[in-house]
Amino acid sequence: MSSWKLLFIDNSMFELGAYIFNLNQQSLQSIISYEKNIFWREVIDSWAALSECCGEEINEQTVLKQPLWLNKGIKRHMGSLFCKNLYDAGIVFINDLVDANGAFLSYHDAMEKYDFNLEFSNYNDVLDAIPNDWKILILSRGNNEPHDTQTNLIKLIRNCTKACNCSYKIMIEKYSSIPSEKQNTWKCYLESEDLQWDNIYKNCFRTFEEVKLRQFQYFFVQRITALNPYLFKCHLCDTVLCSFCNSERETIEHFFWTCPLSSHIWSFVDSWLRANNFYLPLTRTNAFFGIPNPVLPHEFLANKIFILCKCYLYACKHSSQIPTTIGVKFYLRHKYLIEKTSVHFGMSFQQFYSIWGELGTVLENLDL
Ligand SMILES: [Zn+2]
């Protein structure tokens, strides 16, 4: 038995270290109510939450691996069962009380197999508590196929290389939901059905290592970037109009694209980069979400520039400045130098230079 299980046995009032991960969610929740140690309670609670995500229906295949103890499905006098004598003898699952032909072990057969000390009537109480429809399922199996008591969750985790990663994905699948309202708003505005959402979300995280830039793009995609209509509601500014042109409502679409001042910045960046031998595939959708599936270095660089230009516009708003062509160039240079300084965190120098290419040299040599 591995050391953490021994630790569990030493600390838990239920000696379930060897079996805990095979119990179902209901049994685990019952154990939590008895467990006094806060740490173990949290461990069991987390595992119960994960087990819930992989809840298995009770059918011919799964009925034998139902735990006998503290199981809400197996009740005696309105309460769940726990018989320490049988438990200590190694009887944990229904499977432990069934013979190779699918019949329940008689009292004498069970005594012979497990060597426990229990009254005949108490043993029968346990068998009686198993619901009849479960017994019908067990009988309908009617064969001596080998069966195991491992839950699907255990099998899944055992077969993957990174258990934490695997558990995280299971939880995410269960609890995550698609923000369809936000996606529909984007679809209507961009008049496009063909938005690759998986890649749009990935672009938030794969374009930069810097957390602030990742967060900015994520908020942008989620349409929760704080602009004047929202700030006005919070009494943090006195107008809903655009901070730059002061003539239209400051929506995401207006502020980052159609506003004449923002639009001027985009077209300047486009032509300035072109003059420096870098072609920016500038479309409204690319400017907002980046190239969906960047593979080549210049595609990664284009995605960096799309995020940085939006960030620059947003930074101007918050410092109450009007965006300028000189300003955006130096903003790009500033972020380039930050990435160069911290390059060892996310990529090699080789990758860094292959992405920034000639543009890196241009930025480094900008006249201050
Ligand atoms: Zn404007």
Last residue of a domain, one of 171, 192, 224: 171
- Do 59 and 200 share a domain, yes or no? no
Range of the domain at 185: 179-364
**Cα distance between residue 93 and residue 20, in whole Å:** 12
What's the pLDDT score for residue 215? 96
- Do 35 and 94 share a domain, yes or no? yes
- In tens, the pLDDT along 9-56 reads 555 555 555 667 767 777 787 777 777 778 888 888 888 888 777 777
If one counts the domains in the chain, the total is: 2
Long-range contact list for 155-161, CB < 8 A, 24+ apart? 156/54
Task: Tell which residue, 7, 15, 10, 53, has the closest CA to residue 34.
Answer: 15
**Cα distance between residue 308 and residue 216, in whole Å:** 10
- Do 274 and 341 share a domain, yes or no? yes
How far away, in angstroms, is 251 Cα from ligand 1 center? 9
How far away, in angstroms, is 250 Cα from ligand 1 center? 7
How far away, in angstroms, is 226 Cα from ligand 1 center? 15
- Enter the DSSP assignment of 70: T
Q: Are 236 and 250 in contact (CB under 8 A)?
A: no
Lowest mean pLDDT among 147-156, 197-206, 246-255, 323-332: 147-156
Question: 178 by DSSP, 3-state: which?
Answer: coil
- Do 118 and 242 share a domain, yes or no? no
How far away, in angstroms, is 359 Cα from ligand 1 center? 29
Answer whether 0.75 is exceeded by the pTM: no
How far away, in angstroms, is 241 Cα from ligand 1 center? 8
One-letter amino acid of 328: V
- Do 160 and 203 share a domain, yes or no? no
- Do 236 and 300 share a domain, yes or no? yes
User: For 91-162, where are the alpha helices, taking DSSP H only?
Assistant: 107-114, 120-129, 132-141, 152-158
How far away, in angstroms, is 243 Cα from ligand 1 center? 7
Residue 259 banded pLDDT, cuts 50, 70, 90: very high
How far away, in angstroms, is 327 Cα from ligand 1 center? 18
- Do 154 and 51 share a domain, yes or no? yes
How far away, in angstroms, is 262 Cα from ligand 1 center? 7
| Cβ neighbour number for residue 363 with a 10 Å cutoff | 19
What's the pLDDT score for residue 1? 45
- Do 217 and 76 share a domain, yes or no? no
What's the pLDDT score for residue 311? 97
Percentage of the chain beyond pLDDT 90 is 39
- Do 142 and 265 share a domain, yes or no? no
In our burial notation (b when 16+ CB lie closer than 10 A, e otherwise), range 40-59 reads bbebbeebbbbbbbbeeeee
What's the pLDDT score for residue 18? 60
Tokens of 164: 């934490």
- Do 183 and 328 share a domain, yes or no? yes
How far away, in angstroms, is 211 Cα from ligand 1 center? 28
Token look-up 């190779």 returns 100
How far away, in angstroms, is 5 Cα from ligand 1 center? 63
How far away, in angstroms, is 248 Cα from ligand 1 center? 6
Mean pLDDT over the full length of the chain: 85
One-letter amino acid of 323: P
- In tens, the pLDDT along 278-334 reads 999 999 999 999 999 999 999 999 999 999 999 999 999 999 999 999 999 999 999
How far away, in angstroms, is 61 Cα from ligand 1 center? 64
The enclosing H or E element of 355 equals helix 349-364
How far away, in angstroms, is 247 Cα from ligand 1 center? 6
Task: Tell which residue, 244, 285, 282, has the closest CA to residue 261.
Answer: 244
What's the pLDDT score for residue 269? 96
Last residue of a domain, one of 171, 188, 221: 171
Looking at the DSSP bridge assignments, the partners of residue 80 are 75
What's the pLDDT score for residue 137? 85
- Do 70 and 205 share a domain, yes or no? no
Last residue of a domain, one of 124, 152, 171: 171
Lowest mean pLDDT among 86-90, 135-139, 152-156, 195-199: 152-156
One-letter amino acid of 13: M
How far away, in angstroms, is 63 Cα from ligand 1 center? 65
Residue 147 banded pLDDT, cuts 50, 70, 90: low
How far away, in angstroms, is 320 Cα from ligand 1 center? 13
